[in-house]
Copies of this chain bind each other. A is one copy, B any other.
Amino acid sequence: MDFTIRAAMPEDCKDISRMIMELATYEKMPDQVEITQRDLEQDGFSKNPFFQCIIAEVPEQHRTKESHAKVGYALYFYTYSSLKGRSVYMEDLYVMPEFRGKGIGKALMSKIAQLGLAAGCNQLNFTVLNWNKPSMDFYLSQGCLDVTSDMRTMRCEGAALESLAEGNPKK
């Protein structure tokens, strides 16, 4: 099947928002999605964007029955390793179920690798949910490594983040 991969534009945010919800539903956490189309427009397309996004689009004749032509996306941003330097982080990689197995996911990920290398990055990093064996197998087949074992992933949010900012850490 023909498809194109291109940089997202502000007018894609409605579809990106739709697909973020589809992905979160697949990941069994649709109730966790707090960001809206408007957040995406502001956060990804302002002067200093928080993320970048690429879109997979199919031609007219392959639109879904709901008339969607934008059938996949990858959301990414640049990060930094104080050991290895410039890195690219893939936050999301998603292809609508009926368009899987056609090389679209592979093409999206390949594009991020290209963009990362062009920007001087040495690493592409991302996470996969523990139970998501099909995705894990896909990534391992692409030469990716599971580097979970040597580190703990930590988070500070909500009231704890506010207390930390005030210099009064939450007990």
Contacts and interface: CB of A to CB of B under 8 A. Distances in A.
Interface in A32-90: 32-35, 39, 43-44, 50-51, 75, 77-86, 89
B146 A154 contact: yes
A9 interface: no
A162 B117 contact: yes
Contact of A163 (B20, B143, B161): B143
A110 interface: yes
Given A117-B165, A146-B154, 6 more contacts: A20-B83, A35-B82, A82-B91, A145-B160, A147-B153, A151-B153
30 contacts: A29-B83, A33-B82, A34-B85, A39-B85, A44-B80, A51-B79, A75-B82, A79-B91, A80-B91, A81-B91, A82-B92, A110-B166, A114-B165, A116-B161, A122-B157, A123-B157, A124-B157, A124-B161, A128-B151, A129-B150, A130-B150, A141-B169, A142-B156, A142-B164, A143-B164, A143-B170, A143-B171, A144-B154, A145-B155, A147-B155
